[in-house]
Amino acid sequence: MAEHDLQLVARRIRSFPDFPIPGVLFRDISPLLKDPDSFRACIRLLASHLKTTHGGKIDYIAGLDSRGFLFGPSLAQELGLGFVLIRKRGKLPGPTVSASYALEYGKVGRLGWPGGQEQVPELPRLTQPVTAHFLSTG
């Protein structure tokens, strides 16, 4: 099943060398998102990988704005976990927690996620995988 799923997913990802800048190999996931069978196969593969590498030690799946929102909720559902939105600072209402980050092209910014005990009580201790640019940046 895993080999079939890998082939199904691989056929739906297009590569564009030197985009958006020379030296970057951009992976376009649009065809994957348009094909329900390929998308389900991708989620199964990711879930299987996380179960193998992290076992039952994942509290939540966190997804970065915006590609993480495409895969994160489905992956969380497949694993029977909750999903946490991570967005650019100031884009979520209510109390939030934030952290600095650096982009692969050298820009720096801040990310925020829901904060407060009623939102995600264990968030400061989490070491769960974060779904985001995993296909486009490797």
Is 67 an active-site residue?
Answer: yes
CB 131 within 8 A of CB 62: yes
* Residue of 40, 44, 67, 78 with catalytic role: 67
What is the rounded distance in angstroms from the CA atom of residue 74 to the CA atom of residue 91? 22
Closest CA to 129 of 67, 38, 46, 66: 46
**What are the residues whose beta carbons fall under 8 Å from the beta carbon of 67, sequence distance 6 or more?**
29, 131, 132, 133, 135, 136
**What are the residues whose beta carbons fall under 8 Å from the beta carbon of 122, sequence distance 6 or more?**
59, 60
Total Cβ atoms within 10 A of residue 8: 19
* Residue of 104, 110, 118, 122 with catalytic role: 104
Is 104 an active-site residue?
Answer: yes
Tell me the catalytic residues: 67, 104
